[in-house]
Amino acid sequence: MPELPDVEVSRRYMEATSLHQTIKEVEVKSPNMLGNVTAQQLRQRLIDSRFDSTRRHGKHLLARLDQGRWLTLHFGMTGYLDYFRHLTEERPHDRLLISFANGFHLAYVCQRMLGGVGLAEDIRELVTERNLGPDALEVDFRVFLELVGEKRGAIKSALLDQHLIAGIGNIYADEILFQAGLRPQADIDRLDGEDLEELFKRMKQVLQTAIDSKVDPERFPHSYLLPYRDKEGRCPRCAGKLDRTKVSGRTTYYCPRCQPSTE
């Protein structure tokens, strides 16, 4: 679930469900997911406070508490939010459970526990602490060029590097490169200004389109790679068989015809 578009959709979900309600109870179900706070500190900060706004930076979601400070959530590979009324027995993957005065609950669910929960003074603190680059939806072309220009190696590695630009993960890196017609393994040094401009535009477009589609692959444009991203998958543009390889240690799908080698 959780790359930039997924986190943005979660942010809007939280915004639509969980603001301005007094927090009555906080249960830390998996204390090992807490980063820079203890369960006790987190409970103390949250209980009797209310969320009054949310922000996102890259794959991090932040919610401001009206008594100061921000709750920070990272979803790892399997995290999401669930706002619901009735608490049932079997919710094995709830890691943090927040209960509001109106009787509803907000659960931070994370099966694989690769994410994390913490507190931050403000967004700047989080960005500095995690050494994050600018958010992929906010970065402008000039800065994008500067950042990418100081990297070497495969272009996909640069897109995945949260310290360079924050928000893009394995799935959307492949989608962006497919839309830009660039091979994921392409050496950054071999890309010209036109390639980089196309990449920048497609990065914005793909991320925004995914958000607008509520990250539901069925709503994605038919020209998108994502639904075909599996063995036996075929290119939505030329119908040729996709290639599968590893880049930056991550499984990578691309169309060898529509994403020509820069050799």
- The residues that are catalytic are 2-3, 59, 250
Give the whole-angstrom CA distance, residue 29 versus residue 241.
Answer: 45
Complex with DNA: residue 3 or 8, whichever CB lies closer: 3
Cβ atoms < 10 Å from Cβ of 172: 23
Query: Which residue, chain included where needed, has tokens 């994403």?
Result: 259
Q: Do 258 and 237 touch, CB atoms closer than 8 A?
A: yes
Looking at residues 38 to 67 of the shown chain, list those that interact with DNA (rule: CB under 7 A).
58-59
Q: Tokens representing 154?
A: 């495969």
Give the whole-angstrom CA distance, residue 44 versus residue 40.
Answer: 6
Residue type, 100: F
Q: Tokens representing 72?
A: 């920070």
Minimum CB distance to DNA, residue 16 (Å): 21
Give the whole-angstrom CA distance, residue 75 versus residue 93.
Answer: 12
Q: Tokens representing 53?
A: 């706004």
**Candidate list 17, 24, 138, 153; residue touching DNA; CB under 7 A:** 153
184 binds DNA (CB under 7 A): no
249 binds DNA (CB under 7 A): yes
21 binds DNA (CB under 7 A): no
Minimum CB distance to DNA, residue 5 (Å): 9
**Candidate list 162, 209, 213, 262; residue touching DNA; CB under 7 A:** 162
Minimum CB distance to DNA, residue 52 (Å): 26
152 binds DNA (CB under 7 A): yes
Interface residues with DNA (CB under 7 A) are: 1-3, 6, 32, 58-59, 74, 76-78, 92, 111-114, 130, 150-154, 157, 160, 162, 169-171, 246-251
